[in-house]
Amino acid sequence: MAPPPPLPAGIAELYLPRDSRSLARIAADEEPTGSIARRREVLIDVSRQLLMGPPSDALVPELFDFLAAVAPRMEAGAISPAWGSYVYTTYQQDMLKERPTGVPRRSRPEVERALQGYVEFFRLQAREGRKPRTIEDAGFDDTRAWRDERRLGR
């Protein structure tokens, strides 16, 4: 039985469909064979979260590499779900403008450098003493905001 979908936390927030180790394992399993089936499934889930159409098959390998590069930083809290959404969609839009066919594909180190460029430009960093937000934290915050919004008029 599939796990339930995450609680809605806002349109502009990216929640990783799998942990960083699982994403790395998927890439390592599929890369030698040239298959993209599992990577495509993950990116379709990400696209649904961000209200975007699924990427073309030509873009899947590099976009997945970018997602896999973002994942450990999001898990550590250095990149928030909102910033994760922004850097992922920006990377995809830039890729569509510059290389709509996905060729030449960037290597993983080049993808890491592009991500590092976003981190430095936007000065993304973990906040001191703040633990990374989980899906449960976001659901709790959204429920609290909904409740408070309705309480104010009483």
| Distance in angstroms (rounded) separating the CA atoms of residues 33 and 114 | 26
Is 7 within the bounds of a domain? no
One-letter amino acid for residue 78 of the chain: A
Residues counted in the chain: 154
Is 138 within the bounds of a domain? no
Look at the pTM and tell me if it is higher than 0.85.
Answer: no
Helix (H, G, I), strand (E, B) or coil at 58: coil
Q: What is the mean pLDDT of residues 76-81?
A: 85
Instruction: Give me the number of domains the chain comprises.
Output: 1
| Distance in angstroms (rounded) separating the CA atoms of residues 151 and 137 | 21
> For 24-56, how does the pLDDT look when each residue is reduced to its tens digit (9 = 90+)?
999 999 999 999 999 999 999 999 999 899 999
Parent domain of 80: 20-126
